[in-house]
Amino acid sequence: MEIDLNWLNDVGLDTQTGISYTGNDRKYLSAVQRFFKNYEKNKAKVEESFAAKDYENYMITVHALKSNAKMIGAEKLSEHFESLEMAAKSGDGDFIEGVNPVVMEEYAKLIAALKPIGEMDEVRSADEISADVAIETAGRLLEALDDFDDEGAKALAVKLSGYPFRITQAGRLKEAIAFIEDFMYDEAAEIIREILPTIE
């Protein structure tokens, strides 16, 4: 299937940056589809924590949105979410009160522009795995590490890398794979347990 990404540049995404983070056209388009699909859920999380002035949970959500926006090449939106994350970290409620509505409006406009993505068939790369498969693979990987099963752990870690993790978690998985190569199974297992909750 031929994938036309030019229109995504026209709506403000830097597709080349996005592809550099995700690996190829299909993985990139899959990431944009997930960004679009998760909008309502993420918007509700932001609104709930913003209304409650629950800046700890607010910070967690805008941190994830910062990473997700960066991964699809929405650089400006990513920077704006980062400014909200930093404000939440330092407890700067005034900044959040003033800036949150503006950033959420920017987020909504991008989602509206990405509407054709929601009407497309789901795009998956050949090696991409679903959340359910990723959770099951991570569980088997932890068992393999516990059993000192070197070959099994390596194969499962490679399979797990087919899940479209956010940038930070993808980097952590690479670290875990390096630990497995060095027979440092406890350190690898610690990273897998850390990234497991981000699979959704």
Is 171 found in the same domain as 194?
yes
- Could you give the number of structural domains in the chain? 2
Torsion of CA 185, 188, 190, 194, to 10 degrees: -160
Where the chain has pLDDT below 70, the residues are 1-3, 123-126
Give the model's pLDDT for residue 142.
93
Show which of 90, 119, 148 is a domain's final residue: 119
In a domain, residue 126? The reply is no
Give the model's pLDDT for residue 7.
87
Whole-model pTM: value is 0.69
Tokens for 3, please give them: 């994938």
Q: Are 185 and 193 in contact (CB under 8 A)?
A: no
Per-residue model confidence as pLDDT tens digits over 50-107:
999 999 999 999 998 998 899 899 999 999 999 999 999 999 999 999 999 999 999 9
- Structural domain that includes position 136: 131-198
Is 80 found in the same domain as 43?
yes
Give the CA distances from residue 183 to residues 146, 175, 177, in Å, rounded to whole numbers and listed in that order: 12, 12, 10
Q: Mind giving me the DSSP string for 36-81?
A: HHTHHHHHHHHHHHHHTT-HHHHHHHHHHHHHHHHHTT-HHHHHHH
- 196 DSSP assignment: G
Is 108 found in the same domain as 146?
no
Give the model's pLDDT for residue 124.
66
Show which of 95, 119, 143 is a domain's final residue: 119
Show which of 119, 142, 175 is a domain's final residue: 119
Assign 3-class secondary structure to 72-133. CCCHHHHHHHHHHHHHHHHCCHHHHHHHHHHHHHHHHHHHHHCHHHHHCCCCCCCCCCCHHH
Which 3 state secondary structure label does DSSP give 28?
A: helix
Sign of CA dihedral 78, 83, 112, 197: positive
